[in-house]
């Protein structure tokens, strides 16, 4: 890369776009100029990668979400130009960090599933795999969160406000999308995915909805101004905003429109590309294309594919279905019943009658197959795609798909043995496990440059950045005092940086010498932030009773967004903020423990919090968290896991050793045994500490104005509400074990050398959780593709 040409490009860009020199440009303008300059340097290589893929089998990843975060820093890291560009900007008197901080996150996803898609994009390109992503270009990504009067308030996310230098609008590749009540354009925006080293550049294609014509002049001339604009608005609404829920949500018409818009555009694009390369004979489609469906959100791709082959290419239904059964594979990300998508059949029929007809045909084919196998009608009922007026998306995906995978070993076993057991009996060969992973480039090389340098120094090269299993070699330093001390000093540096950032963003001062105990993830009852809060409240009471309690100083750090319509999740945020205030008002406690709930937790915030964490809290009810990926990011940055035997925690502990983590609580089997005679009230009656904690929810301790705002939480735990059983997530049953294990944490943390050793063992054994490993398994075990040479 030419330093001089980047400078020249930036000068030219600023002149042409803003009418000023770089020297006079604002930081946002510099960000735009620099990003565009980098784009100009990669377009040729991007083109070369695309061309190389023309003679290979390709995999297409279709996902409604991509939680990309910022692009600039990551792209510089992957191009291995970070330091060079930093120097170059210094010559212009510009600080690269400040420029990076200007960039808005591309938050086109909710949480784990969307971030996984982003990590997979990075790893595919780094592994030189022919993979293309398809997604939606939401104008507004995940809402921004702030707190007002101790409660979450949402604001619109306007990630495009400084422009979008990281995509290219491909007007010529536009396709039309037909709904029963309207026809719209889908315009692709291509985002380059730069693999580490910069040799391979893949594509993420994001579709944007636009009206066929900007304006209906007939209506306008008739002075029907509102009507003239209505059509345009209705169209643009399709990709206006990301739905902010990451579990349930039933029956929203616009959401269904979004899903069909995504898959129709993507499938049309794939078929067009196939025809250009291989002609009109679709028998070979599966030889050239594999399609991965990221959860059920894009499952309408299946009937859409069949529709195109039948209605537009003149194939028979049977033949088209046969081809589809070799092309599609499906990833399941959840066991929660309420999160399995079931769409109202009537709604679907109304919006796309032809697609609905095809789904009926698919269902009929399934029934015929089961009849031939001699299944009884009762049995067949369990498999139906259309059942009781609902379309079961997962059923369609498993029947038509040639593979279905879970995202961690435990999760896949639960799918096979319980949730999808009947499907497993029918198609045992379709079931696979693909344990999730994370990209070490963003989550270590970019986010923790200090630790990266130490690792490169100790391993003698930076090869580990592309082969994370090499971190294993770090185990040989487990008794090396120099390494252990440097590890501690790096952690301290990251904690100071986070403290500064929290001071700037939240106006709160935290002590970098305290233990940073971190729980960051979406807010959900099953993730049990409330259990963590209950522990903190108990600790508050203990400290009030005995200010000399022998514990290290602790800062509890939370970050979480609640779905705006999820009342109970919002109450948990409110409760944690109230506990933080209570502690701050109590002199004998506030110098020992502190609670910080950061606002607007996001990918870029995670990049600061995770490297600074001493302890990783992963405390979901066993059996509920499919995998988790934050757990892997924290491990990679040297935080031992404080967690339950759930999701990928099981594998994390198997890799790094039980002795280097803090595992507590009920396991899946325990919960299954307890389920039918669980009475949380017994725990409350028998444990004075639990009673004291829960009573504080309603006796004014946390709610001095006595509004009763925490009564719902109290009752949800002790009596159950709206026909739900009390304490569905077993907080009371796990409280005692939680407490004992956290006391063990405090004991361990006293021996800082020992703690550093645990930290080192976690880093050294995190190699298995690279998304490079995960994506290579998808490539060889599902898609049948291999790296380009």
110 binding ligand 26Q? (CB under 6 A): yes
Stretch that binds ligand 26Q, among 334-342, 395-403, 480-488, 749-757 (CB under 6 A): 334-342
**How far is the C-alpha of 378 from the C-alpha of 722, rounded, in Å?**
31
Residue, CB closest to ligand 26Q: 112
Exactly one of 69, 141, 628, 680 binds ligand 26Q (CB under 6 A); that residue is: 628
Stretch that binds ligand 26Q, among 78-86, 313-321, 564-572, 622-630 (CB under 6 A): 622-630
> How far out from the chain centre does Cα 654 lie?
24
Q: Is 565 or 704 the residue whose CB approaches ligand 26Q more closely?
A: 565
Q: Is 250 or 780 the residue whose CB approaches ligand 26Q more closely?
A: 250
- Minimum gap (Å) between residue 667 Cβ and ligand 26Q: 17
157 binding ligand 26Q? (CB under 6 A): no
Q: Is 59 or 536 the residue whose CB approaches ligand 26Q more closely?
A: 59
- E strand or H helix at 202: strand 201-210
- State which of positions 430-449 bind ligand 26Q (CB under 6 A): 436
For residues 183 and 265, is the Cβ–Cβ distance under 8 A? no
Stretch that binds ligand 26Q, among 104-112, 355-363, 467-475, 507-515 (CB under 6 A): 104-112
405 binding ligand 26Q? (CB under 6 A): no
Taken in order 721, 723, 726, 730, the sign of the CA dihedral is negative
What Å distances lie between residue 412 and 27, 184, 305, 654, CA to CA?
A: 47, 39, 28, 17
Exactly one of 249, 273, 369, 689 binds ligand 26Q (CB under 6 A); that residue is: 249
**DSSP for 313-381, written as a single string:** T---HHHHHHHHHHHEEEE-----GGGS-EEEHHHHHHH-HHHHHHHHHHHHHHHHHHHHTT--HHHHH
629 binding ligand 26Q? (CB under 6 A): yes
- E strand or H helix at 576: helix 567-584
Q: Is 205 or 434 the residue whose CB approaches ligand 26Q more closely?
A: 434
- Minimum gap (Å) between residue 620 Cβ and ligand 26Q: 8
407 binding ligand 26Q? (CB under 6 A): yes
**β-pairing verdict for 390-392 and 168-169:** unpaired
243 binding ligand 26Q? (CB under 6 A): yes
**β-pairing verdict for 66-69 and 106-108:** antiparallel
Exactly one of 113, 125, 394, 572 binds ligand 26Q (CB under 6 A); that residue is: 113
- State which of positions 740-779 bind ligand 26Q (CB under 6 A): none
Exactly one of 333, 395, 608, 617 binds ligand 26Q (CB under 6 A); that residue is: 333
Q: Is 166 or 260 the residue whose CB approaches ligand 26Q more closely?
A: 260
Say how many residues touch ligand 26Q, by CB under 6 A: 23
643 binding ligand 26Q? (CB under 6 A): no
- State which of positions 251-280 bind ligand 26Q (CB under 6 A): 255
**DSSP for 226-288, written as a single string:** HHHHHHHHHHHGGGTB----SS-----HHHHHHHHHHHHHHHHHHHHHHHHHH-S-GGGHHHH
- Minimum gap (Å) between residue 251 Cβ and ligand 26Q: 9
- Minimum gap (Å) between residue 436 Cβ and ligand 26Q: 5
- State which of positions 341-380 bind ligand 26Q (CB under 6 A): 341
247 binding ligand 26Q? (CB under 6 A): yes
User: Long-range contacts: 751-756, Cβ < 8 Å, 24+?
Assistant: 752/488, 753/481, 753/484, 755/614, 756/484, 756/485, 756/487, 756/488
Q: Is 243 or 288 the residue whose CB approaches ligand 26Q more closely?
A: 243
Q: Is 132 or 631 the residue whose CB approaches ligand 26Q more closely?
A: 631
**How far is the C-alpha of 440 from the C-alpha of 167, rounded, in Å?**
24
Q: At what angle do helices 731-749 and 529-545 cross, to 10 degrees?
A: 60
User: What residues are labeled active site?
Assistant: 333, 521-522, 527, 629, 633
Which residues, 6+ apart, have CB-to-CB distance to 716 below 8 Å?
568, 724, 726, 727
Q: Is 50 or 247 the residue whose CB approaches ligand 26Q more closely?
A: 247
Identify the burial level of 177 via C-beta atoms within 10 angstroms of its C-beta, where 0-12 means exposed, 13-18 middle and 19 or more buried: buried
334 binding ligand 26Q? (CB under 6 A): yes
Q: Is 338 or 699 the residue whose CB approaches ligand 26Q more closely?
A: 338
Exactly one of 103, 105, 210, 246 binds ligand 26Q (CB under 6 A); that residue is: 246
245 binding ligand 26Q? (CB under 6 A): yes
- Number of helices and strands in the chain (H, E): 34, 23
- Minimum gap (Å) between residue 500 Cβ and ligand 26Q: 30
Which residues, 6+ apart, have CB-to-CB distance to 511 below 8 Å?
499, 553, 555, 594
> How far out from the chain centre does Cα 220 lie?
44
Angle at 406 between CA 290 and CA 770, to 5 degrees: 80
626 binding ligand 26Q? (CB under 6 A): yes
Taken in order 752, 758, 764, 769, the sign of the CA dihedral is negative
Residues in touch with ligand 26Q (CB under 6 A): 110-113, 116, 243, 245-247, 249, 255, 333-334, 339, 341, 407, 436, 625-629, 647
């Amino acid at each position: 890369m030419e330093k001089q040409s980047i400078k020249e490009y930036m000068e030219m860009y600023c002149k042409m776009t803003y009418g000023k020199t770089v020297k006079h440009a604002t930081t946002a303008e510099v960000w735009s100029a620099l990003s565009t300059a980098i784009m100009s340097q990669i377009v040729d290589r991007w083109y070369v990668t695309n061309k190389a893929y023309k003679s290979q089998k390709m995999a297409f990843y279709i996902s409604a979400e991509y939680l990309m975060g910022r692009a600039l820093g990551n792209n510089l890291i992957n191009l291995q130009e970070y330091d060079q560009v930093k120097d170059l900007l210094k010559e212009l008197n510009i600080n690269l960090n400040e420029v990076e901080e200007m960039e808005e996150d591309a938050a086109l996803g909710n949480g784990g599933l969307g971030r996984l898609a982003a990590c997979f994009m990075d790893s595919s390109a780094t592994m030189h795999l022919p993979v293309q992503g398809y997604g939606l270009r939401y104008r507004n990504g995940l809402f921004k969160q702030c707190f007002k009067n101790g409660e979450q308030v949402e604001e619109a996310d306007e990630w495009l406000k400084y422009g979008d230098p990281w995509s290219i609008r491909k007007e010529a590749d536009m396709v039309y999308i037909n709904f029963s009540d309207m026809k719209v354009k889908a315009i692709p925006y291509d985002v380059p995915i730069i693999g580490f080293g910069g040799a391979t550049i893949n594509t993420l294609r994001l579709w944007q909805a636009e009206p066929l014509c900007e304006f209906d002049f007939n209506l306008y001339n008739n002075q029907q101004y509102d009507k003239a604009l209505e059509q345009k608005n209705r169209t643009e609404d399709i990709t206006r905003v990301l739905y902010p829920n990451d579990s349930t949500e039933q029956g929203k018409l616009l959401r269904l429109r979004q899903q069909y818009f995504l898959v129709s555009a993507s499938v049309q694009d794939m078929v067009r590309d196939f025809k250009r390369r291989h002609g009109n004979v679709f028998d070979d489609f599966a030889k050239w294309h594999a399609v991965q469906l990221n959860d059920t959100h894009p499952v309408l791709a299946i009937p859409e594919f069949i529709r195109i082959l039948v209605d537009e290419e003149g194939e028979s239904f049977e033949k088209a279905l046969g081809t589809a059964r070799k092309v599609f594979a499906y990833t399941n990300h959840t066991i929660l019943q309420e999160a399995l998508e079931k769409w109202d059949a009537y709604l679907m029929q109304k919006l796309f009658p032809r697609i609905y007809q095809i789904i009926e045909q698919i269902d009929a084919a399934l029934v015929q197959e089961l009849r031939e196998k001699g299944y009884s009608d009762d049995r067949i009922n369990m498999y139906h795609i259309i059942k009781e007026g609902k379309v079961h998306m997962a059923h369609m995906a498993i029947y038509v798909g040639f593979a279905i995978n879970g995202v961690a070993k435990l999760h896949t076993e639960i799918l096979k043995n319980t949730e999808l057991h009947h499907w497993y009996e029918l198609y045992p060969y379709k079931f696979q496990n693909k344990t999730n992973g994370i990209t070490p480039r963003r989550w270590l090389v970019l986010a923790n440059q200090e630790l990266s340098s130490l690792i490169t120094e100790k391993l003698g090269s930076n090869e580990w950045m592309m082969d994370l299993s090499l971190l294993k070699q770090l185990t040989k330093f487990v008794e090396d005092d120099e390494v252990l001390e440097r590890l501690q000093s790096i952690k301290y540096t990251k904690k100071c940086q986070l403290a500064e950032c929290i001071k700037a963003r939240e106006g709160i001062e935290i002590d970098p010498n305290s233990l940073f105990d971190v729980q960051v993830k979406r807010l959900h009852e099953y993730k049990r932030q409330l259990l963590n809060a209950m522990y903190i409240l108990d600790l508050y009471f203990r400290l009030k009773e005995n200010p000399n309690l022998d514990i290290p100083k602790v800062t509890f750090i939370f970050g979480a967004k609640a779905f705006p319509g999820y009342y109970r999740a919002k109450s948990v945020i409110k409760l944690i903020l109230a506990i933080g205030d209570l502690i701050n008002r109590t002199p004998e406690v506030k110098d020992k423990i502190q609670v910080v709930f950061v606002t607007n937790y996001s990918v870029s915030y995670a990049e600061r919090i995770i490297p600074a964490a001493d302890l990783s809290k992963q405390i979901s009810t066993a059996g509920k968290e499919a995998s988790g990926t934050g757990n892997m990011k924290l491990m990679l940055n040297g935080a031992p896991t404080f967690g339950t035997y759930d999701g990928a925690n099981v594998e994390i502990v198997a890799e790094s050793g039980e002795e280097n983590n803090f595992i507590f609580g009920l396991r899946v089997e325990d919960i299954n045994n307890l389920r039918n005679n669980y009475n949380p009230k017994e725990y409350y009656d028998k444990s004075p500490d639990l009673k004291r904690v829960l009573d504080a929810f309603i006796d004014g301790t946390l709610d001095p104005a006595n509004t009763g705002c925490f009564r719902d939480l109290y009752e949800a735990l002790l009596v159950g509400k709206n026909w739900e059983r009390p304490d569905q997530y077993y907080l009371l049953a796990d409280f005692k074990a939680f407490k004992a294990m956290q006391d063990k944490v405090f004991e361990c943390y006293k021996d800082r050398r020992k703690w550093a050793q645990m930290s080192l063992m976690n880093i050294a054994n995190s190699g298995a959780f690279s998304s490079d490993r995960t994506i290579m398994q998808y490539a060889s075990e599902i898609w049948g593709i291999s790296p380009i040479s």
